[in-house]
Copies of this chain bind each other. A is one copy, B any other.
């Protein structure tokens, strides 16, 4: 997505090998206009997939997921992160390992918001090792919902998240694909949409 790539080139900051900071328009301060365009793009790509729910994880996934859901005319559900597993039969839960923080956290969605009738579009702001997306997929599987695809705002294509998800047979659509963050410079490869 041309506009997103240009914005990353303008306002993204490379902090050491492998770290891209986009906190001025995606992950902390948020540009609503750009997020709306991102959401509309995801909705366009998945418009024929009969999506019934858009699922993401708090907090940075919420903005792009919200606009995608609005354009598709469906609800958005965000998974909660919590440090401890609360025993509750009404929750779908899965474990997500963070390579950056080196901790495992539990994510959860209330069972009543996902069912075997749902066709889910999963949205997240970043795809690196794919662990967060994998956790969301597991929540959908527990509910018997079908995952129709994964929409990613920024993909670190030099990490193995996409491979992991594609090996599960899933369609992955990333709006900016980063080939390398070496030498303080962002290099892109051709984006999906």
Contact = CB atoms under 8 A, between A and B. Distances in A.
A56 to B, nearest CB: 10
Interface residues of A, number: 29
Contacts of A112: 24
Q: How many copies does the complex hold?
A: 2
Residue among A23, A32, A70 with the most chain B CB within 10 A?
Answer: A32
B66 A35 contact: yes
B110 A28 contact: yes
Contact of A78 (B32, B59, B76): B59
A78 B26 CA distance: 11
A30 interface: yes
Q: Is the interface of A mostly helix, strand, loop or mixed?
A: mixed
B30 A66 contact: yes
Nearest to A114: B29
A5 to B, nearest CB: 20
Interface string A124-148: 0000000000000000000000000
A89 interface: no
B30 A76 contact: yes
